[in-house]
Amino acid sequence: MYVIASLISGLIFGLGLIVSGMANPAKVLGFLDLAGPWDPSLAFVMGGAIAVGAVAFALAAKRTRTLLGTPMRLPTATQIDRRLVLGSTVFGIGWGIAGFCPGPALVALGMGNTKAALFVAAMLAGMLVFEMFEHRARTAALATK
């Protein structure tokens, strides 16, 4: 049941990205280009997503189990640290250059967008490099103990 619920959720999310224009890098870049012909429509999409997310998190915070019976695991981190700031910066730069972020890139890849294929390959390479650095840092930390 969990896999089916995940599939349905992913399909709804992907459809929402297509309908809202978030899977179209030209639309996203039009939103990010404040000096050119700015397209504010994605601000409404993001505002709606934030509102829905805020309500969902408020409701989820009152629960101990999900609707499918698994333990509720909500984020607990509240500290703004160097890793968060650097990660957000890299994310924003990538979004501004390519017009994609991970979710819309996967949707666009599924739609056959060749730019999305390049973005997803670069994203996966970046994730691999990150994991290599994390593994090295964990190994070094264990060696010093």
pLDDT of 37-69, one tens digit each?
888 988 998 899 999 999 999 999 999 999 888
DSSP-H helix ranges across the chain: 2-20, 25-32, 41-61, 82-98, 102-110, 114-143
pLDDT of 94-109, one tens digit each?
888 999 989 999 999 9
The domain total for the chain is: 1
Domain span holding position 52: 2-143
Cα dist from 29 to 5, 26, 112, 113, 133, whole Å: 32, 5, 19, 16, 31
pLDDT at 22 over 90: no
Determine contact, residues 72/64, Cβ cutoff 8 Å. yes
Determine contact, residues 20/93, Cβ cutoff 8 Å. no
Q: What is the pLDDT of residue 124?
A: 95
